[in-house]
Amino acid sequence: MVLLGPSLSSATFTSVTTPALATVQAASDWTPPTVALNAPAPAVRGTVTLTATASDADSGVPDVRIQARAAGASSWTTICTVTTSPYSCAWATGTANGAHELRAVATDRAGNTATSAVRTTLVDNQAPSVTMNDPGALLTGTTTFSASASDAGSGVAQVVIQASSNGSSWTTLCTRTSSPYSCAYDTKQLANGTYSVRAVATDVVGNSATSATVTGRVVDNTPRAVTLADPGSPLSGTVNVDATASAPGGVTSVAIQRSPAGANQWTTICTASSAPYRCSWNTTGVTDGLYDLRAVMADSQGTLTSAPVGARRVFNAPLAAADIQAAHGGSAIGRPDAGDRITYTFNREVDLGSILSGWDRGSRSVTGRFTSNLFFSDSTLSIDGTQLGIIDLGARYNNFLNGTTTFTATMTASTDTATGTPRTVVTVVLTSSPNLANPGGTPTMVWTPAAVRDTLGRAIAASSATESGPASRDF
């Protein structure tokens, strides 16, 4: 047997390392990584933080790319490449608007890649449009303020309506989150003055826009009121009729009117366009009687407001004697004596100074006289020093053919309104008993006053008054 090499017993074995074996081991990572993109808000603007998660159990994830494209576009744009966790970056949306798609792409160390599910968001970098509607030139009471607004992107989130007085800070009147963007605001919460109003609209992602300002709008909550001063009653000659008026935005005019009482048939006496609201009414132009009066205010908004004064008497008949009466008050019936009284009644108020100088209706001591003429003429009665005139007693009281008998008396005046027209009543009460014969019977007296004047200075009419009702036995 021929031996061709060393024997196995003497052979030496050397261990040999094969480098290719390690490469094969690394290449055995055939599993792609897992990757997910966190969902952004449904609508975004400006710069947005995007975050992805990724992992690989074999070789690890060396980078994650976050990408974006406009919805429907064919190509993706890489926003950022992130090599370490957390995989996040800032997405500057710039001026982009509309729907966008987002995704994350992860690559492991073996070169395997994975793409996340696509996320969709609306990019809205455009402010809404907003218009403040004109609330009107005059703002009073509860006023409606409104605006119109729209947003083609994320939609209008809210509209704030504001007011400012003379350039001061803006006061929010109301905030509305849905259309219609309007509110009823009580302007009494604002001081009277000139205001500007505007609307500020904000969309869902926070873009905002301010409307053009509506300027020069006046808040005026002055109470609307008109009053007519009572001119009194009765009315005669030319009288002043006065009214006061106020209204939001100012008073345009005040008309003062008259109507026969209860007829509601109004005639304008005059119209005043500025204060003082006064009419000079010549009452002689109407028939004596009762009249209703009213003031009618027209304000800047065209509203009419009236204030009435009812049933005022117009009385322009001349001053005249209305009645003469005698009343028993003494001890002797059928003859004048102390305690008896004579009452002179005029048809309206008298200037008492024209009856007796300086008289103010208080009690005055006077002297009266009974006078008889020749033959069987009626006796007369007069009060010395006064303009009360002469009373024809309707009978002869003295025993003499000619004679005068005096007596003392007190004289007072009062005002009688029983007829609806104030009238002066003069009462003379005898304080002494004249020695007069009883003429018998119940003669009727006739009174003719002298130069008396009314409170307007007009002379009494030349007429007489005959005793009304049952005659007194004393006179």
Q: Would the pLDDT of 24 be above 80?
A: no
In the structure, what pLDDT confidence band is assigned to residue 5 with cuts at 50, 70 and 90? very low
Select from 329, 253, 258, 317 the least CA-distant residue to 292: 258
pLDDT of residue 233: 82
H helices of 284-369, in order, are none
For the segment 3-22, the average pLDDT, to the nearest whole number, is 35
Select from 229, 228, 220, 132 the least CA-distant residue to 183: 132
In the structure, what pLDDT confidence band is assigned to residue 469 with cuts at 50, 70 and 90? confident
Rg of the chain over Cα atoms, rounded to whole angstroms, equals: 56
Cα distance between residue 54 and residue 112, in whole Å: 13
Q: How many C-beta atoms lie closer than 10 Å to residue 268's C-beta?
A: 11
Write out the two tokens for 130. 């907003």
The CATH fold assigned to 29-123 is Immunoglobulin-like (2.60.40)
Q: Classify residue 265 as exposed, middle or buried by CB count within 10 Å of its CB (0-12, 13-18, 19+).
A: exposed
**Residue type for position 450:** A
The domain spans of the chain are 29-123, 129-219, 226-314, 321-466
Model confidence pLDDT, tens digit, residues 180-225? 999 999 999 999 999 999 999 999 999 999 999 999 999 999 999 9
Cut 0.75: pTM above it: no
Same fold: 29-123 with 226-314: yes
pLDDT of residue 217: 95
The continuous run of DSSP H or E covering 24 comes out as helix 20-26
Q: Which are the contacts of 462, defined by CB distance < 8 A and separation ≥ 6?
A: none
Local structure of 315: helix, strand or coil: coil
Q: Which are the contacts of 39, defined by CB distance < 8 A and separation ≥ 6?
A: 119
Model confidence pLDDT, tens digit, residues 122-143? 999 999 999 999 999 999 999 9
Residues 300 and 138: beta-carbon distance below 8 Å: yes
pLDDT of residue 301: 84
- Output the average pLDDT for the chain: 89
Strand partners, 284: none
The class (CATH top level) of 226-314 is: mainly beta
Cα distance between residue 254 and residue 446, in whole Å: 50
For 129-219, CATH number? Answer: 2.60.40.10
Select from 219, 210, 218, 216 the least CA-distant residue to 132: 210
